[in-house]
Copies of this chain bind each other. A is one copy, B any other.
Amino acid sequence: MKNRKLLMIPGPIEVDPSVLRAIGEVTTSHVAPNFIECFGNSIELMRKIWQAPYGQPFIIAGSGTLAMDMAVCNLIEPEENALVISTGYFGERYKNILTTYGAKVTVLQAEIGEIVPLEEVEKELSSKDYKLVTITHVDTSTGVLNDPQPIAEIAQKYNTLTILDGVCATAGEISKQEEWGIDVVLTGSQKAIGVPPGLALFVVSEKAMNVWKNRKNPVQNYYGSFTNWLPIMKAYEERKPSYFGTPPVNLIRALEVSLNLINNEGIENRIATHLVYAKAFRKAIQKIGLELVPKKEDEAANTMSAIYYPEGIDGNQFIKGISEYGVILAGGLHSEIKTKYFRVGHMGAITKSDIVVTLSAIEFALAKQKYKLTIGESIGTFLENL
């Protein structure tokens, strides 16, 4: 019998079999013509999926946190002001990154499960000269979804650069980098992009590239410096060999395959499917009496859900029970409510069947702890709402 569990955490996620085949292809040279074509093509596909026709894509070996780090260390200079709009754990992370590079950081902290009101953002941005503002599109720790568009509009009004942490969002949530005027949109390969972990991916606007070019101080980070990587990205796009650090050939081949899958499906269709599945999943969960961490429906992510355990349910036993039914879910991450909730990823190449199996495991794991529910009810609700 097959003996593997369905991976339904908010990244890494289930990936398409063709992506796994691609990562296992025989490793070629980083300057072999077929790999140069693969890298160049991936850069071009990123522009389409990011909806950033004039942006500069970067593909770097590292985790999503490296993408967060690179966006900041290349754009901020010591003593400059930076604003963090925090909806959880990853807002806190941006504060730490900015502090490392000498920025003066102000954090607008949302209540757990809520977003920061736009008025507060505008009030803060108008109060002093902010170099940049960071927004977490979906905070993986709370499942809260920000709408980046109005924030970007305000930021442009005050001439502040915008960095959108799209780690749990890009290619799963509506995001229009060029149209919305966002300066950096970043993610990791293992989220809605649908590739195993190991790639930091981001696109930088022309405006932000100019800000970087006109820095007064050198970038305080070697591996993450645009100076080292920009010529490499340009060379691959021009289909020319080049070298700074050896690119992760197998992962980039897998990336090309997954970006092609998304592009062939159409990024708008791919995102629309996420919205439909997520809405139906939330209804299913609520039908059996569970409550989401995000307090409002339109502030709940479509790539993942953070869900409170009902009263009387032991979290460790629940996650263990889920695993016995063949599904891997994630526990809490936000320190203040860590033991009170769990997280489900529903992004990328997942199918309706994956969600049905997950709901079934949730039902049985709850029932095992004497939680009262009608078995099958959440599944019915999910399928009815597709």
Q: How far, in Å, is A147 (CB) from chain B's closest CB?
A: 26
Do A247 and B29 touch across chains, with their CB atoms under 8 A apart? no
* A181: chain B residues within 8 A (beta carbon): none
Q: Complex Cα distance A69/B244, Å? A: 13
Chain-B contact segment, one of A4-12, A107-115, A260-268, A279-287: A4-12
Q: Complex Cα distance A296/B218, Å? A: 40
B-facing residues in A25-60 (Cβ within 8 Å): 25-32
Q: How far, in Å, is A302 (CB) from chain B's closest CB?
A: 20
Q: Complex Cα distance A97/B222, Å? A: 6
Closest to A97 in B: B222
* A126: chain B residues within 8 A (beta carbon): none
Q: Point out the residue from B96, B97, B243, B246 that lies within 8 Å of A12, measured CB to CB.
A: B246
Do A20 and B12 touch across chains, with their CB atoms under 8 A apart? no
Does chain B have a CB within 8 A of A321?
no
Do B63 and A250 touch across chains, with their CB atoms under 8 A apart? no
* A196: chain B residues within 8 A (beta carbon): 27, 248-251
Do B63 and A221 touch across chains, with their CB atoms under 8 A apart? no
Does chain B have a CB within 8 A of A100?
yes
Does chain B have a CB within 8 A of A328?
yes
B-facing residues in A201-224 (Cβ within 8 Å): 218-224
Do A197 and B247 touch across chains, with their CB atoms under 8 A apart? yes
Do A243 and B333 touch across chains, with their CB atoms under 8 A apart? yes
Do A62 and B64 touch across chains, with their CB atoms under 8 A apart? no
Q: Complex Cα distance A109/B73, Å? A: 31
Q: How far, in Å, is A34 (CB) from chain B's closest CB?
A: 10
Do B29 and A12 touch across chains, with their CB atoms under 8 A apart? yes
Does chain B have a CB within 8 A of A65?
yes
* A225: chain B residues within 8 A (beta carbon): 100
Q: How far, in Å, is A63 (CB) from chain B's closest CB?
A: 3
Q: Complex Cα distance A31/B11, Å? A: 11
Do A198 and B243 touch across chains, with their CB atoms under 8 A apart? no
Does chain B have a CB within 8 A of A66?
yes
Does chain B have a CB within 8 A of A295?
no
Does chain B have a CB within 8 A of A188?
yes
Do B12 and A100 touch across chains, with their CB atoms under 8 A apart? no
Q: Complex Cα distance A188/B246, Å? A: 9
Q: Complex Cα distance A105/B9, Å? A: 46
Q: Complex Cα distance A221/B96, Å? A: 11
Do A30 and B197 touch across chains, with their CB atoms under 8 A apart? yes
Does chain B have a CB within 8 A of A231?
no
Q: How far, in Å, is A75 (CB) from chain B's closest CB?
A: 14
Q: How far, in Å, is A89 (CB) from chain B's closest CB?
A: 10
Residues of chain A having any CB pair with chain B under 8 Å: 4-5, 7, 9, 11-15, 20-21, 23-32, 61-66, 69-70, 72-73, 96-97, 100-101, 188, 190, 196-198, 218-225, 243-251, 328, 330, 333
Offer 14 A-B interface pairs, CB within 8 angstroms, sorted by A: A7-B28, A7-B29, A9-B29, A23-B250, A28-B328, A63-B248, A73-B222, A97-B222, A100-B225, A190-B246, A196-B250, A198-B250, A223-B224, A248-B248
